[in-house]
Structure 1
Amino acid sequence: MIVQRYVVIDLETTGNSPKKGDRIIQFAGVVIENDRIIEEFSTFIRPGVEIPVFIEELTGINDLMVKDAPVFEEVAPKIVEMLSNSCFVAHNVLFDLSFLQEELKRCGYDGFFGSAIDTVELSKLLLPTSDSYKLSYLAKQEGFTHTRPHRADSDAYVTAMLFINLKKKLFSLPLLTLKHMYRLSLSLKSELAELVKESIDIRKKSSPIHNPNIEIFRGLALNNSDAIPPNSEGDNPEYPAARSEKLAMLSKAFSNPEIREGQLKMMDIVYHSFEKSTHAIIEAGTGIGKSLGYLLPAVYISKTTGTPVMIGTHTLQLQEQLLGKELPKLRAMLPFPVSAVLIKGRSNYLSLAKFERSLREKEDNYETALTKIQILVWLTETVTGDRDELNLTSGGQLFWERLQSEETIYKGLQEPWVEKDFFERAKKKAAKADIIVTNHSFLLADYRSETTFFSGILNLVLDEAHHIEKAASRYLGDKLDYITVKTMLNRIGMHDQKQLLYRLEKMVQEYEINCDDPYQSIEREINDFSYEFEQMFYTLARLAEKNASAAGYNRSAIRIQHSNEQRGFLKPAQLLAERLIHYLAEIYKKILFRTVQLQNMQEQLKKNQLFFLNEIDSVLAGILQVKSMLHEFFLNPSEENVYFLETNKTVSHSSISLYSQPIDAGEKLWKEYLTRYDSVVMTSATLSVKGSFRFFMDQLGVPKEKGIQKAIFPSSFDYRKNVKALIAKEMPDINRVTADEYTNALAKHIISAASASKGRMLVLFTSNEMLRNTYEKVKESGRIEDFSLFAQGVSGGSRSRLIRNFQSFEKAVLFGTASFWDGIDIPGEALSCLAIARLPFSPPDEPITEAKCNKIRLEGKNPFSVYALPEALLRFRQGFGRLIRTRDDKGILLVLDRRIVSAKYGEEFRRALPSLEWMEAGQLELSKEIDDWL
């Protein structure tokens, strides 16, 4: 019988375990019938135990508030009555239901035996693109008022409203999608199958819902609202060369446009670079309006040449900003239409052919079933097929690898889907666009590709260009890690495991192919390879442990140099590598023979068998890649590359990854790729050191030719008015104390600064270890217990999620390293104090840094002045750029590293921010200055 009555429950409790004495302190229930709330009930409950401090802080419920409340035994009859003949609904149903069951049993009741629905799970299915499934986030996203999070009455009401909305969305889905969902929902944790079945039954009895944006194709309901635009036609518009023309255009997009001379001059430089096929390097400070500074001339040159202009960025945030904020402004300014598209690497897009096939598979574990339903719902919404739109679980991300788009030699697999294929459609739209936005990674992938995607494009803008050299070093290198190789072996499997080898052998027998080598010989080689691969990584783990103990702490990266010191460890690894390469060659040869024989019979093969051969091809490519990496890393290293291994803090063999990266990737990138374009405009807010682009040009191998235009447009912000720059006088010299003594002093200064600034503080570090130790000391001090502390690599979550959490609390401190120095945008009062724990020099034993410095030293130059110092100065400016993001922002810059005044080079860091007045102060005086300024 279909349940039409739902009771939404929320509990506040003293802890997580009723069996250990935790009790309910507030109960709330909301009854829903026919998608309407018909009853609400809530009450405080006297728990008979003290409410812990952290629960009081979380919920706002204290012992006084529950002193005269009923005990659970008095409320239980009402709860049992409410739940009778109902479906139990909760946000994270397992907690509320299991806790309530224990309490009911304790009071002599049988408990609840009806259906249960989890709105977290339901939200994941029906809102697959949501950034978070926390109740407060979903409430805001869906437009509900949630005045008192972590109070049962408010949480239950908001959960009920969310559930009603989700039910309505479920009912609105195409009937075909619902039918797919029903089969898959049987593998879910809560009883959502009943809800889906109810929607199907109602839909069958109702008039068909016509949605013109939905198309049914080969058993899938797809969003068809994104037509590929025709080529734009018309006269070539004339570029607005006059200052007055540009200002008139800007006035169409801005009600009261601010005249930024740097932006106007930048537009002309970019246009003339494109027009004359020359290159340009432009530093455009914060507030200049850099994006429009290159977008406007890019559109005009695109219209003139009839080819798109490529915009390459480092961060997703800037890509979203360009398409979501800057393009609408540009369109408002121009008297003609502008088309812009975002394109990424092929593996970012869903293969509809693979997904269609996956729906025919009968065995689905929980993660796979969940992900398939998410994709089914998403297909009714997405026009891009881009995985970054989805919020997938870790299991879902693994499943995506089976579904991602890839090139195939089996054309028959894609034929039905060619017109619908997301990647192919993205390419067609890009070819007809004025502006193509992509990331540095896709540009670099194109560089490595045998068939370039961007062959017809003449002009390129590299935004966030200060990242390109290091991105090239990573992307043009190779990686071999334990987990990837073991995953590959598991995919091949033994015959009795019924993986790829088993299925391949079945096809060989079916089509009566004669093989000289039985499959048992492949199994033996896989077993031998697996055993010796384990031995190799145990050997590498011992090398990592030796280096870690010698340094006094566990380093994350260890350079492999084939030196006398490492020879004792590397010799066994080299012998193992030779044998591993032999095993891989044999495995590859025998699987390839079988595959080629079957490929020659393509016309006779079934479609699912062609899909299978496509999987085999990807495994064969993986085998070749592992073989090549082992050979280069251990037997034939190149002098142009640096080799190193990375491991986690425990130095377990399974955590080891091997890397090969070019030492001078930037130079290679410039000579072999960027010069393919007629014009490359490189821009960023931080490219110059002491007013010169020489360091950036040297890193990228850009020749010292006169044809390259260079310009620096300083920020339009008045930093002296906006920023108080402070130096901590009582911090110890970092080179004269232990790491523990330094982090103790850091923690004390951070606590006092955070108290004075009332949070809203970002602390930047140069090492994960120093960050972690300082964070722990601040947390354990208990001096800012009412603050929310978030630490990269400790608190969990992505960078964007940490920033979002930081912004949602007024009294918060965010500890960041690496990527937090650059590319994050926290405008307004959410960030009022920026502390720099240590001047941002790269560790001298970091493999790439060490290799670069050695090379510079061999050239007879000083690596500190030529490389280490300029790189640190640029990074220092990038870190400072996080503080003031708009003209009205006001903040504190607090430098905690005494070297900024005590070292000879300290003055160069102070001069790097020329408009600031610096002040040294002791800890008490620092607090007063911060408090007064803010």
Structure 2
Amino acid sequence: MIVQRYIVIDLETTGNSPKKGDRIIQFAGVVIENDRIIDEFSTFLRPDLEIPVFIEELTGITESMVEDAPTFEEVAPKIVDMLRDSCFVAHNVLFDLSFLQEELKRCGYHGFYGSTIDTVELSKLLLPTSDSYKLSYLAKQEGVTHWRPHRADSDAYVTAVLFINLKKKLISLPLLTLKHMYRLSLSLKSEVAELIKESIEIRKKSSPIHNPNIEIFRGLALNQSNEIPSVNEGDVQEYPASTEEKLEMLSKAFLHPEHRAGQLKMMDIVYDALKNGTHAIIEAGTGIGKSLGYLLPAAYVSKSTGTPIMIGTNTLQLQEQLLEKELPKLKTILPFPILAVLIKGRANYLSLAKFERSLREKEDNYETALTKIQILVWLTETATGDRDELNLTSGGQLFWERLQSEETIYKGLQEPWMERDFFERAKKKASKADIIVTNHSFLLADFRSENPFFSRVTNLVLDEAHHFERAASRYLGERLDYITVKTMLNRIGMHDQKQLLYRLEKMVQEHGISYTQPYTAIEREMNDFSYEFEQLFYTLARLAERNAAVTGFNRTSIRIHHSRENQGSLKPAQLLAERLIHYLGEIDKKIRARTVLLQAKQDQLKKNQLFFLNEIDSMLTGILQVKSMLHEFFLNPSEEAVYFLETSKSVTHASISLYSQPIDAVKKLWKEYFSRYDSVVMTSATLSVKGSFRFFMDQLGVPDHKDIQKAVFPSAFDYRKNVKALIAKDMPDINRVTSDEYTNALASHIITAASASKGRMLVLFTSNEMLRSTYEKVKESGKIEEYSLFAQGVSSGSRSRLIRNFQNFEKAVLFGTASFWDGVDIPGEALSCLAIARLPFSPPDEPITEARSNKIRLEGKNPFSVYALPEALLRFRQGFGRLIRTKDDKGILLVLDRRIISAKYGEEFRRAIPALEWEEADLSGLETEIVDWL
């Protein structure tokens, strides 16, 4: 039966639990029929109890507004009448429905037992690329005016308009997509299936909709607007050598181009290096126009030589900025056309062949069904098939691993999809490109590949170059975690679980292959491995518990020393590792023997059987990686690597991960990696320490040759005019108080600064634990309840999503660590106050820091002055760079670590940003200082 009537409900309440006495203080209902709003009803309700302060601040509903309002009992008959013969719709339907049910039952009514639709769930399905599914964000995204967020009348109206828009989008989808969605929607939480069924019925009765951008292929509706572009060559003109020529070009993209001498000089240095096969290291301060500073000369060199220029970046944000802002500007400037493309590692792209196969599987897992529907809708929109476009749940991210593109040895497996395969199309585009944008990880992976994709690239521009050393360390290292191995074991499965092992044995029998050793022999070894693996991680958990107590701020990284004096504590783990390596070898040998026999019959196998064998191959690769990691970590450690484990604060065996990283193998990068290029240009806003590139060059093993050009171009901004730099002089000395006392003081200062700056505040930490503790104290204080708080590692979402969410709220505070110290671009009034909780030294007991410091000490040098201090000074400058992003920005820099004035090295931090004038302020005067400046 097609539902014609919907009622959209929103409630404001005194709390979350009606069973504990919480009550409704505002009810709103919006009635929809035939996709039109036909009735609205809203009223305040007298709860006959005090409204909590934080609810007043959140909703704006005060005691005086409800004191003469009716009680719920008085309006219940009208609400029951509105609900009759309707489908109940709400944004997070479980909360509103359950609360309303309890209130109706309390008043003697039976409650509502009709169908429900959750617009959060529906939005996830139909808006799979949305950064957030909060109502206020969706309203802004869909162009709906949300005049009073957290008021039931406004929220209900906005939810109703959103619901109508989502229904319209649903019915506009290809009929084939709707049919797939309907089958999968039976596993969802709300009755979305009925809505999809209604759309299918309407579509069947109406005339077919022809969408020229949609192609139907092998049962999937695909966006076909991702044609591989071709570019007319055009006449390549001479590089604009003079200042006048460059300014004339820039005027095409900018109404009033600024004469930024640093940018123009940078262009000449980059052009000279790329054209003549030399190298350059360039520090280009904020506001210089660094991106155009290398893109313009790169375009001229690429066109004149006929070879592409590679641009390597560290962050997704910079990649998006280059593709969406800087390169379009460049195209308006240039007198000839260019093709610029983005390419990432293969695992970032969807395999259409795998997804097609997954749709044939019966699905009853909620998150997998949700993700499949998201991908079905996304396929009608995406031109790239890039995972980063999607907003996936944690379960969806796990499912993606089954769908991601990968190499295969089986001929024809991708054949029907080869022309449409997203990764293949990305490679084809890149092969025709003048400028190729990629990330540091893919550069490193391609370098180690037997068939490097970028072999024809001879010139590299490495942006965000200060990150490359860390990226290389991570990439050249290894990781082994409990969850990954358990997932692998579950995929293999026992015979009665009907997973890979069972299916492999059935396939062997089906093709008449006889084998002397039965599958039960593999099962025995699987059982033995599983038991011993649990024992290994319980042993590691006990080892972690003994060591975690001596680390600061409940740190969870613990270095594993293989020295003679530590052999006793490691011996139990080593014995377990030896047995695990043996079991893995046997499991691999027995499974591989079966797959080899099946591969010999490859021409006789069906496509789904080839997919299955490919899945087995991936799993065997995983087994060998686990075996190799166990061997290196416990039995044959390298003196050139550092080994450590990480665990959660509670130190459970299931939370443990093992890591290995080279101590300074990255110093070989110049000889082994960069030497493949004729020219390498390395650039960033922060590369120098006290005017020298020595620290950066040592990190990458760059020789100090005369043919390496070096240049520093200071920021184009007037920091004395733009920034007030404050030091909180009454903060306690971090080395003389407990972590709890320090975070209490941090929370007090952050609350005061946030109130004074009206939110718009970013707080940078060096410790996840300190961040979490401070965030919780700020939140629990209730003093800035009306502010939205976002915390890395606490709030859901990637870094870019947290930043976008932060920007979407007028009053917000963002707590970040690690990646938030640089690469974050929040211009204008969205960020007015930057607070630094602690000077950004890497913790000395952090495994990689400790190992590198020991190595420097053995070389007869001081690790603090050679390594720790230069690294911290660079990071401090990077953090400061988040504050002022345009010449009109104005902001507060608040340093909450008093070592900047009390320690001997404090002056070096103050001098790191030479244009600043520093002032000290105590907590009582902090608010006035901030308010007066802003």
Q: TM-score range by the shorter chain?
A: over 0.9
Q: Which amino acid aligns with 1:72?
A: F
Match of 1:116 in 2: 116
Give the whole-Å Cα distance in 1 for the aligned partners of 2:91 and 2:743.
Answer: 40
Q: Name the counterpart of 2:188.
A: 188
* AA partner of residue 763 (structure 2): V
Describe how 1:890-901 pairs up with structure 2 within 5 A.
890-901=890-901
Partner in structure 1 of residue 153 of structure 2: 153
Write the letter of the residue equivalent to 2:484: T
Cα 1:738–1:670, aligned 2, differ >3 Å: closer, same or farther?
same
Deviation of 1:740 after TM superposition, in Å, equals 3.9
The verdict on how the C-alpha distance between 1:122 and 1:750 changes in structure 2, with shifts beyond 3 A counting, is closer
**Could you tell me how far 1:321 is from its partner in structure 2?**
0.7
The residue that corresponds to 1:202 in the other structure is: 202
Cα offset, 1:927, TM superposition = 4.1
Distance 2:517 2:632 in 1: 29
SS of 2:762's equivalent?
strand
- Note the alpha carbon deviations across 1:590-628, whole angstroms, 9 max, x for none: 000000000100111111111110100000000000011
Q: Is the 8 A contact 2:553 2:739 kept in 1?
A: no
Deviations 1:821-852 (A, max 9, x none): 11112222222222222221111111111111
Letter in 2 for 1:101: Q
Shift in CA distance, 332/904, structure 1 to aligned 2, threshold 3 Å? same
Q: Which AA in structure 2 matches 1:817?
A: T
Count how many residue pairs are aligned between Structure 1 and Structure 2.
934
Q: Please name the residue that 1:473 is paired with.
A: 473
1:540 and 1:569 in contact (8 A); partners too: no
1:792 match: 792
SS in 1 for 2:894: strand
**Structure 1 pair 923/160, CA: closer, same or farther in 2 (3 Å)?**
closer
The answer on whether the counterparts of 2:544 and 2:558 sit within 8 Å (CA) in structure 1 is yes
Contact 2:555–2:769 (Cα < 8 Å) also in 1:
no
Q: Is the 8 A contact 1:237 1:303 kept in 2?
A: no
Post-superposition offset of 1:355:
0.7
Deviations 1:248-267 (A, max 9, x none): 00000000110101000111
The question of 1:495 aligning with 2:495 is answered yes
Instruction: Output aligned runs, 1:762-911, within 5 Å.
Output: 762-781=762-781, 783-911=783-911
Distance between the aligned counterparts of 1:62 and 1:929, measured in 2?
A: 32
Alignment CA distance shift 1:506-1:155 (3 Å): same
Q: Does the CA-based 8 Å contact 1:733-1:899 persist in structure 2?
A: yes
Q: Deviations over 1:834-887 (max 9, x none)?
A: 222222111111111111111111212121111111111111111111111110
What CA deviation, in whole Å up to 9, does each residue of 1:302-323 have, x standing for no partner? 1112222111111111111111
Within 5 Å, which residues of 2 pair with 1:705-744?
Answer: 705-744=705-744
Summarize deviations over 1:642-664 as a string: whole Å, max 9, x none: 11111111111111111111111
Amino acid of the residue matched to residue 215 of structure 1?
A: E
Q: Which range moved further: 448-457 or 286-295? A: 448-457
What is the rounded CA distance, in whole Å, between the counterparts of 1:130 and 1:813 in structure 2? 22
Q: Measured at CA, do residues 785 and 37 of structure 1 come closer, stay the same or move farther in structure 2, by a change above 3 Å? A: closer
**CA offsets 1:551-585 (integer angstroms, 9 cap, x no match):** 46632111112124432221111111111111000
Residue of structure 2 equivalent to 1:35 = 35
User: 8 Å contact 2:792–2:802 — kept in the other structure?
Assistant: yes
> Residue 458 of structure 2 contacts residue 677 of structure 2 at CA under 8 Å; is this kept in 1?
yes
**Offset at residue 890 of structure 1 (A):** 1.5
TM-score normalized with structure 1 length: 0.97
| Residue aligning to 1:308 | 308
Question: Is 1:601 matched with 2:608?
Answer: no
* SS of match in other structure, 1:412: coil
Return the alpha-carbon distance in structure 2 between the equivalents of residues 252 and 235 of structure 1: 18
- Equivalent residue, structure 2, for 1:364: 364
Q: Which amino acid aligns with 1:771?
A: L
Distance in 2 of aligned mates of 1:750 and 1:215: 53
C-alpha displacement of 1:783: 4.9
Give SS of 2:580's match: helix
1:186/1:193 contact within 8 Å kept: yes
The 8 Å contact of residues 873 and 909 in structure 2, kept in 1 or not, is answered as yes
Q: Distance in 2 between matches of 1:687 and 1:321?
A: 21
CA contact (8 A) 2:221 2:379 kept: yes
The answer as to whether partners of 2:233 and 2:337 remain within 8 angstroms in 1 is no
Moved over 6 A (4+): none
User: Structure 1 residue 77 and structure 2 residue 77: aligned?
Assistant: yes
Give the conservation status (yes or no) of the 8 Å contact 2:464–2:683: yes
- Cα RMSD of the aligned pairs, angstroms, is 1.8
Does the C-alpha gap of structure 1 residues 893 and 218 become closer, same or farther in structure 2, counting only changes over 3 Å?
A: same
1:277 aligns with 2:294: no
How far, CA to CA, are the matches of 2:115 and 2:780 in structure 1? 44
- Match in the other structure for 2:236: 236
How far is 1:520 from its partner?
Answer: 0.6
472 and 91 in structure 1: CA distance in 2 versus 1, 3 angstrom threshold:
same
Q: What pairs with 1:507-518 in structure 2 (closer than 5 Å)?
A: 507-518=507-518
Indicate the larger mover: 112-121 or 577-586. Answer: 112-121
Offset at 1:65?
A: 1.6
**Aligned equivalent of 2:264:** 264
Alpha-carbon distance in structure 2 between the residues aligned to 1:114 and 1:687 = 63
Q: In structure 1, what is the Cα distance between the partners aligned to 2:24 and 2:746?
A: 41
Equivalence for 2:62: 62
Q: State how 1:326-345 maps to structure 2 within 5 Å.
A: 326-345=326-345
Q: How does 1:676-715 map to 2 (within 5 A)?
A: 676-715=676-715
What is the percentage of aligned positions where both structures have the same residue?
85
Query: Judging changes above 3 Å, is the alpha-carbon distance between structure 1 residues 68 and 731 closer, same or farther for their aligned structure 2 residues?
Result: closer
CA contact (8 A) 2:317 2:800 kept: no
Matched-pair contact (CA < 8 Å) for 1:647–1:657: yes
Superposed displacement of residue 72, structure 1: 2.3
Query: Which residue identity lines up with residue 555 of structure 2 in the other structure?
Result: R
DSSP 3-state at the match of 1:712:
strand
Indicate conservation of the 8 Å contact 1:825/1:882, yes or no. Answer: yes
Q: CA deviation at 1:55?
A: 2.2
Q: Offset at 1:48?
A: 3.0
Amino acid in structure 2 at the alignment position of 1:719? Y
> What letter is aligned with 1:275?
K
Specify the alignment match of 2:212 in structure 1.
212
* CA shift digits 1:274-322 (9 cap, x unpaired): 1111111000000000000001111111111222211111111111111
Q: Contact between 1:539 and 1:569, CA under 8 Å: does it hold in 2?
A: no
Question: For the structure 1 residues 72 and 752, does the alpha-carbon distance in structure 2 shift closer, same or farther, using more than 3 Å as the test?
Answer: closer
Look up the SS of the partner of 2:549 in the other structure.
helix
Contact 1:87–1:116 (Cα < 8 Å) also in 2: yes
Q: Any gaps of 5 or more consecutive residues in structure 2?
A: none
Shift of 1:195: 1.6
Q: CA deviation at 1:27?
A: 1.8
Equivalent AA in structure 2 for residue 766 of structure 1: T
Going from structure 1 to structure 2, the CA distance change for 1:688 and 1:216 (only over 3 Å counts) comes to: same
| Contact preservation (8 Å) 1:253, 1:333 | yes
For the 8 Å contact 2:187–2:365, the answer to whether it is kept is yes
- Distance (whole Å) between structure 1 residues aligned to residue 785 and residue 191 of structure 2: 41
Whole-angstrom CA distance in 1 between matches of 2:741 and 2:365? 51
Aligned residue runs from structure 1 range 630-709, under 5 A: 630-709=630-709
Equivalent position amino acid for 1:299 in 2: A
Checking the alignment, whether the CA contact within 8 Å between 2:551 and 2:845 is kept in structure 1 is: no
| 1:320-360 deviation per Cα after TM superposition (whole angstroms, max 9, x unaligned) | 11111111111111122222111111111110001111111
Q: Decide whether the 8 Å contact of 1:790 with 1:813 is kept in 2.
A: yes
SS at structure 1 position matched to 2:639:
coil
- In structure 1, the residue matched to 2:449 is 449
